[in-house]
Structure 1
């Protein structure tokens, strides 16, 4: 008996914009990117999320936001 689980994640960039502040590592500019994430199971959409990711334009490091 074979069990095969097919999961797929698609990410699509919705837009970018300048974010306030500077990078704590290199003092470069920070950009905010809106990303649409869609999980699929056997080509059927299961979950849909929109997230905002921050990254530095100089050192290309992904930045985390802590409250």
Structure 2
């Protein structure tokens, strides 16, 4: 007997817009992205959340806002 658990996380970019400020690593322009993530178990949606993430457009590093 074999049990297979199928868990999956799907992330989609909803929107992108320029954010104020500059990258602390290279001084490039910062971009804010709204990302919707959804956890699924056996193709049934369990959890859904929308987050805002900040990225540098030049060096592509993820930035943390404090």
Structure 1 residue 6, shift from structure 2 partner: 1.1
Looking at structure 1, the residues matched to 12 and 25 of structure 2 have their Cα atoms a distance apart, in angstroms, of 27
Runs of 4+ in 1 over 2 A off after TM superposition: 1-4
Superposition deviation, residue 4 in structure 1: 2.2
Match of 1:54 in 2: 54
Query: Where does residue 38 of structure 2 map in the other structure?
Result: 38
Match of 1:35, SS state, is strand
Alpha-carbon distance between aligned partners in 1 of 2:27 and 2:52, rounded to the nearest angstrom: 21
Q: TM-score, normalised by structure 1?
A: 0.92
Aligned length, in residue pairs: 66
Q: TM-score by structure 2 length?
A: 0.93
Structure 1, unmatched stretches of 5+, are none
Partner of 1:64: 64
